[in-house]
Amino acid sequence: MLLLHARKMSNAIHIKNKKAKFEYQFIDKYTAGIQLTGTEIKSIRLGKASIMESYGVYEKGEIFLRNMYIQEYENGTHYNHSPKRDRKLLLNRTEINKIEKKLKNKGLTLVAIKLFINEKGKAKLDIAVAQGKKLHDKREDMKDKDAKREMDRLKKDY
């Protein structure tokens, strides 16, 4: 019973990059596995990770995630992981080829959106090929958000 409860708790991990939607316009989205060590997955299950400044790069036929911060595991030994090391993303060859072609275009980047634990207990990462927004695009998004909030307030009164 305790093991079943622990699994349900681990599925509640959803670490998001809230700035990504504001800063970038998403073109394509993918879900990728991450190649992790034992202490890294334990820290993620405790919610001690951040993807705010992380981005993906294509190197030698593979895609790596840089700047993803995973805090060192408290009960780890001298085999503990490095908090900001590059981590390999696990994708199909066709997905990797599509991402590589899009990243060759000027102005496109690979951004981490959400880190989560799936129902099988594996760490997964939602990534997107994205284009940076201009200042006027960001202002337009803020206006839309304010208008929606105002409409919701008016609906609540009635």
The ranges assigned to domains in the chain are 2-132
Residue with tokens 């990462």: 125
* CATH C-level class of 2-132: mainly beta
The enclosing H or E element of 19 equals helix 18-23
**CA angle, 69 then 85 then 70, to 5°:** 25
Contacts of 103 (CB under 8 A, 6+ apart): 58, 109, 110, 129
Instruction: Tell me: pLDDT of 5 over 70.
Output: no
Distance CA 118, CA 10 (A): 9
Residues 98-117 have a mean pLDDT of 86
State pLDDT tens for residues 118-139: 888 888 889 998 888 777 777 8
> How many CA atoms lie within 13 Å of 54's alpha carbon, on the beta-carbon side?
32
pTM listed for this prediction: 0.71
pLDDT of residue 10: 45
Instruction: Tell me: pLDDT of 79 over 60.
Output: yes
Of 46-50, 74-78, 122-126, highest mean pLDDT: 122-126
